[in-house]
C-alpha cells in the first residue's frame, strides 16, 4: 500500500523591494516564521545592507569602510534569502500579482515595499555644482572621502547636518553650519538644550548660523562659495542636509499616499492594495505619542516596521505600536539625547519639568500628565527608564515619581516586536 502524499501547499513567494534595514528585517521576520518561503530582496544598490547612521563615523575616519555594512553577501544565502542587486523595479501589476523589473518581471504572493528615503534637494540655485554632496548613501560617503576640500558649508542642522559637520571637522575642514530656523536640531530639541549643543559645536570650532537662509551656491563648475541672506562664505564643499523625503519610485500613484507624502499604511503596515505592505522610511505610520501620521525616518523605527510588515505578510497578525523618536548626538564630550516629542511640537496642555545637576540638564515634557518626551544633556543614567515610561504611556507628576519607583517596568509591553519567541508570541495573538 502506498501512502498518498498530503496536499502540500506550494511555498509562498515574498518579494521585498529595498535592501535597507526595513527590508532585511522584514525578510528575516518572514524567514523566522516560514522556513519554506521563497524570499527575494530586490535592490537598486550594488552593496549588501549598510547602516547610514554610522556614515559620519566612516567619514571622520573613526571606523573603516567595511564596518558601515551590517550584512555581507554570504549572510543572505545563509538565511536562504535571495538578493538581487542593481535591479530597478519599474511597475506593478496588482491584478496579476507581478512586479515588472527593468528586464523581465517577477511574480509575488506578498510584496513588501521598503524603498527608503532620499535627500531633499532644496530649491536654491547651484545645487548641481561639483562639490555639493548629500549625506545618505555609502556612495555619498565615498565621494566625500575622496573629495579634497578645506572649507565646508553644511546646510540644515538636523541630526544629519550636525553629524556631518562634526565628521568634516574631524577630517580637518573648516565648517559652517547654517540653519533656517531659530535653533539647531529644531525637530528634536527645544530652545534651551539646543543652545547648549550650539555652544558645544562652537567650542569644537564649527561656525553655527541660525535664522540664516541660504540664497545661492556660488561658483562655476565647482563650488566657490555660499551666499546667504546675511553673508557670503567662501568654501569648496557644500553638504545638503535639509531633510529626507520618502522614496516612492514607481509605486507613486499605485499605492495611496498619506498627507505627509509617504505611503499610507495601517497599523499592520498594510497599504491600500491587498498583499502589498510598506515599511521603513517610505511608509507613513502613526506616531506612538499621539497617533497622528508621522514620517519617522529613523533606524530603529524602520527595523520595527520591517518586523511587523514581515510578520503580517507571513500571515501572523502583529501590530505596530507607533513611531518614536530616539536620537542622540555627541558633540566633543557633550552627549545630547532626545526621546519622544519636543515641547515646541505639541501645543495643548503641556507641562515641562526641568532638572539641572552639575553639568547635566534634563527636560521632561508631559502632556495631560503623561510623559511624552525627554531631552537630556550630559546626563546618561536612567534614560532607559524614561524610554520605558514613554512606551508605557506612564502618568507622571514629578521627576522623583519616575526615578524612585520602577514598578511600571514590570508592566509587560505587548506590542514590542522584538520578543525572542516571535513564533510563539505571535500565534498566541
Question: Which candidate, 124, 94, 106, places its Cα nearest to that of 42?
Answer: 106
Quote the least distance from Cβ 328 to other proteins, whole Å: 6
Residues 6+ apart with CB under 8 A from 173: 149, 150, 151, 152, 237
Quote the least distance from Cβ 141 to other proteins, whole Å: 14
The residue (of 261 and 333) whose beta carbon lies closer to other proteins is: 333
The residue (of 127 and 382) whose beta carbon lies closer to other proteins is: 382
Sheet holding 263-264, edge to edge: 263-264, 283-286, 293-294
Active site residue 279: no
Sheet holding 326-331, edge to edge: 326-331, 334-340, 370-377, 360-367, 350-357
The residue (of 99 and 336) whose beta carbon lies closer to other proteins is: 336
The residue (of 154 and 374) whose beta carbon lies closer to other proteins is: 374
Three-point CA angle 418, 421, 423, nearest 5°: 105
E strands, 202-282, are 206-209, 214-219, 223-228, 232-234, 237-240, 244-246, 263-264, 276-278
Candidate list 53, 235, 279, 282, residue with the active-site label: 53
Quote the least distance from Cβ 194 to other proteins, whole Å: 18
The residue (of 265 and 390) whose beta carbon lies closer to other proteins is: 390
Rounded distance between C-alpha atoms, residue 198 and residue 188, angstroms:
14
The residue (of 250 and 408) whose beta carbon lies closer to other proteins is: 408
Quote the least distance from Cβ 407 to other proteins, whole Å: 12
Quote the least distance from Cβ 294 to other proteins, whole Å: 18
Quote the least distance from Cβ 360 to other proteins, whole Å: 14
- Measured from the Cβ of residue 400, the count of other Cβ atoms closer than 10 Å reads 10
Q: Please check whether residue 369 is in contact with residue 396, taking contact to mean a CB–CB distance below 8 angstroms.
A: yes
Q: CA of 140: how far to CAs of 135, 239, 345, in Å?
A: 6, 10, 31
- The DSSP output letter for 235 is -
Q: What are phi and psi of 406, to 5 degrees?
A: -110, 20
Task: Give residue 291's region: left, alpha or beta (phi > 0; psi -120 to 50).
Answer: left
Binding residues for other proteins, per CB under 8 A?
Answer: 21, 51, 53-54, 57, 62-63, 67, 70-71, 299-300, 303-304, 326, 328, 330, 335, 337, 339, 380-385, 387-388, 406, 409, 413, 416, 418-421
Active site residues: 53
Amino acid at each position: 500500500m502506498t501512502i498518498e502524499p498530503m496536499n502540500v501547499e506550494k511555498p509562498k513567494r515574498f518579494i521585498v523591494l529595498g535592501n535597507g534595514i526595513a527590508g532585511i528585517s522584514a525578510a528575516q521576520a518572514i524567514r523566522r516564521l516560514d522556513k519554506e518561503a521563497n524570499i527575494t530582496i530586490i535592490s537598486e544598490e550594488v552593496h549588501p545592507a549598510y547602516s547610514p547612521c554610522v556614515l559620519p563615523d566612516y567619514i571622520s575616519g573613526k571606523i573603516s569602510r567595511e564596518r558601515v555594512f551590517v550584512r555581507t553577501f554570504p549572510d543572505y544565502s545563509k538565511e536562504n534569502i535571495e538578493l538581487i542587486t542593481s535591479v530597478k523595479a519599474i511597475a506593478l501589476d496588482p491584478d496579476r500579482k507581478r512586479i515588472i523589473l527593468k528586464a523581465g518581471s517577477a511574480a509575488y504572493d506578498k510584496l513588501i515595499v521598503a524603498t527608503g528615503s532620499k535627500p531633499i534637494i532644496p530649491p536654491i540655485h547651484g545645487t548641481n555644482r561639483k562639490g555639493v554632496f548629500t549625506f545618505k548613501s555609502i556612495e555619498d560617503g565615498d565621494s566625500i572621502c575622496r573629495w579634497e576640500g578645506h572649507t565646508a558649508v553644511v546646510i540644515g542642522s538636523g541630526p544629519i547636518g550636525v553629524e556631518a559637520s562634526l565628521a568634516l571637522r574631524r577630517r580637518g575642514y573648516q565648517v559652517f553650519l547654517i540653519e533656517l530656523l531659530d535653533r539647531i536640531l529644531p525637530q528634536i530639541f527645544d530652545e534651551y538644550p539646543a543652545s547648549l549643543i550650539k555652544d558645544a559645536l562652537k567650542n569644537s570650532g564649527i561656525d553655527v548660523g541660525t535664522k540664516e537662509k541660504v540664497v545661492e551656491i556660488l561658483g562655476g563648475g565647482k563650488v566657490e562659495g555660499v551666499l546667504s541672506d546675511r553673508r557670503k562664505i567662501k568654501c569648496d564643499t557644500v553638504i545638503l542636509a535639509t531633510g529626507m523625503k520618502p522614496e516612492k519610485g514607481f509605486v507613486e500613484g499605485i499605492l495611496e499616499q498619506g498627507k505627509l507624502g509617504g505611503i499610507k499604511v495601517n497599523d499592520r503596515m498594510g497599504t491600500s492594495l491587498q498583499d502589498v505592505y510598506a515599511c521603513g522610511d517610505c511608509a507613513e505610520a502613526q506616531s506612538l505619542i499621539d497617533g497622528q501620521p508621522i514620517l519617522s525616518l529613523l533606524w530603529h523605527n524602520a527595523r520595527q516596521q520591517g518586523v511587523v510588515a514581515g510578520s503580517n505578510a507571513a500571515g501572523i497578525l502583529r501590530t505596530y505600536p507607533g513611531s518614536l523618536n530616539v536620537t542622540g548626538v555627541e558633540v566633543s564630550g557633550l552627549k545630547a539625547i532626545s526621546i519622544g516629542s519636543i515641547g515646541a511640537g505639541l501645543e495643548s496642555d503641556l507641562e515641562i519639568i526641568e532638572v539641572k545637576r552639575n553639568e547635566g540638564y534634563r527636560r521632561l515634557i508631559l502632556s495631560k500628565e503623561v510623559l511624552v518626551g525627554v531631552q537630556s544633556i550630559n546626563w546618561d543614567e536612567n534614560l532607559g527608564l524614561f524610554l520605558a515610561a514613554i512606551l508605557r504611556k506612564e502618568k507622571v507628576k514629578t521627576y522623583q515619581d519616575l526615578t524612585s519607583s520602577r514598578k511600571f517596568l514590570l508592566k509587560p509591553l505587548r506590542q514590542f516586536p522584538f520578543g525572542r519567541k516571535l513564533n510563539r508570541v505571535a500565534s498566541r495573538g
